[in-house]
């Protein structure tokens, strides 16, 4: 599906060390003028509202939103973009709080050109970084590939859950990923084996500004009817236990070792706790919801209050699973 890499994975460790971490505050704060942006074949939008693109339906604008035409367009744009300009990838916006002050620099959103899913062999799919978990699992079913059903339950795109080692129902991306194609902040395209991502729970060591444009997932031979039945079971389980019809961001906190985050939140008396328009879901206490016109500041502050109460009640420090980006 994707063009071959122009840099070997052997140099990835060096790139990781040089690119990982936050950019200087001065670079994050300075506006990026249109004349400072490289030419692109894709779509560039200034001050693009992000609230409509994220599940919480809250937050500020992207200073620049870039929707590349294809991988080569993305490579050329990042290669020629001032290295001090921050770059962030945006998928379905399901696991994200965009702060009310907006996101400086460039937000990259992969469109239809990156949403293809194709069979490589009897048990492997080649998936674009913009493809949804639902599309990947459904394509796997159609080709009789089992083991990818859990992707049906991850509300995001391939790029996002490869970066975050997304998982559910006892499986994680590291269980099925073989290789992925990544465009680095300097525009280089590399193909990385799963070991290079150094996965831990909901975390990889992909550097900031790197964008996953494709991934290969491997399952096992299976019966399409049985695969569909498992997908139906997962869908019904999510519908019964999660506030899927609310404006939410998915699981808010990581499960601490030996604990379930929702149980700790519940035990701390936070079920239904509200701050402005933000509320802890009554249905699943590890979900925050926007009940109407919540600001991102209210949603994030409610999360911090939950962390404080859980720490006071149980001594456990909850860690955010939802990503929080942008300026307050």
Main-chain dihedrals φ then ψ at residue 217, nearest 5 degrees: -115, 135
Known active-site residue 238: no
164: which DSSP letter?
A: T
Backbone φ and ψ for 159, nearest 5 degrees, come out as -60, -40
Helices 133-142 and 224-241: angle between axes, nearest 10 degrees = 150
237 belongs to the catalytic site: no
Which conformational region is residue 298 in: left (phi greater than 0), alpha (psi within -120 to 50 degrees), or beta? Answer: alpha
Query: Which candidate in 149, 196, 298, 321 is catalytic?
Result: 321
Phi and psi for 105 in degrees, rounded to 5? 80, -140
Report which of 248, 274, 92 is spatially closest to residue 166, judged by C-alpha positions.
92
Rg over alpha carbons for the chain, rounded to the nearest Å, is 20
- Name the strand (E) or helix (H) holding 76: helix 71-80
Report d(CA 314, CA 310) in Å as an integer: 6
Residue 202 falls in the annotated catalytic set: yes
Catalytic residue among 204, 251, 281, 296: 251
Marked catalytic residue, from 109, 174, 202, 307: 202
Residues 6+ apart with CB under 8 A from 107: 48, 50, 62, 63, 64, 65, 66, 87, 88, 89, 90
Which residues are known catalytic residues? Answer: 202, 251, 321
């Amino acid at each position: 599906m994707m063009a071959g890499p122009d840099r070997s994975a052997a140099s990835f460790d060096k790139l990781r060390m040089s690119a990982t971490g936050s950019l200087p505050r001065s670079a994050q704060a300075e506006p990026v003028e249109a004349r400072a942006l490289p030419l692109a074949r894709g779509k560039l939008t200034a001050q693009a509202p992000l609230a409509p693109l994220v599940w919480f339906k809250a937050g500020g604008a992207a200073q620049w939103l870039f929707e590349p035409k294809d991988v080569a367009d993305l490579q050329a744009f990042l290669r020629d973009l001032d290295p001090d300009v921050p770059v962030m990838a945006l998928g379905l916006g399901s696991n994200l709080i965009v702060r009310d002050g907006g996101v400086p620099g460039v937000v990259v959103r992969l469109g239809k050109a990156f949403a293809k899913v194709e069979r490589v062999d009897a048990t492997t799919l080649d998936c674009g970084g913009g493809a949804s978990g639902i599309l990947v699992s459904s394509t796997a079913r159609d080709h009789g590939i089992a083991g990818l059903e859990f992707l049906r339950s991850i509300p995001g795109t391939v790029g996002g859950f490869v970066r975050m080692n997304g998982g559910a129902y006892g499986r994680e991306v590291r269980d099925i990923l073989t290789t992925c194609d990544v465009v680095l902040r300097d525009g280089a395209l590399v193909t990385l084996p799963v070991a290079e991502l150094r996965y831990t729970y909901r975390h990889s060591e992909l550097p900031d500004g790197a964008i996953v444009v494709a991934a290969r997932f491997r399952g096992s031979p299976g019966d399409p009817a049985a695969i569909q039945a498992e997908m139906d079971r997962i869908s019904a389980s999510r519908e019964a236990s999660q506030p899927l019809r609310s404006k939410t961001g998915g699981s808010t906190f990581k499960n601490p070792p030996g604990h379930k985050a929702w149980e700790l939140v519940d035990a701390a008396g936070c079920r239904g706790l509200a701050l402005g328009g933000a509320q802890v879901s009554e249905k699943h206490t590890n979900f925050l919801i926007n009940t109407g016109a919540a600001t991102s500041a209210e949603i994030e502050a409610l999360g911090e209050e939950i962390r404080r109460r859980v720490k006071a009640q149980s001594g456990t420090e909850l860690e955010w699973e939802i990503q929080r980006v942008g300026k307050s």
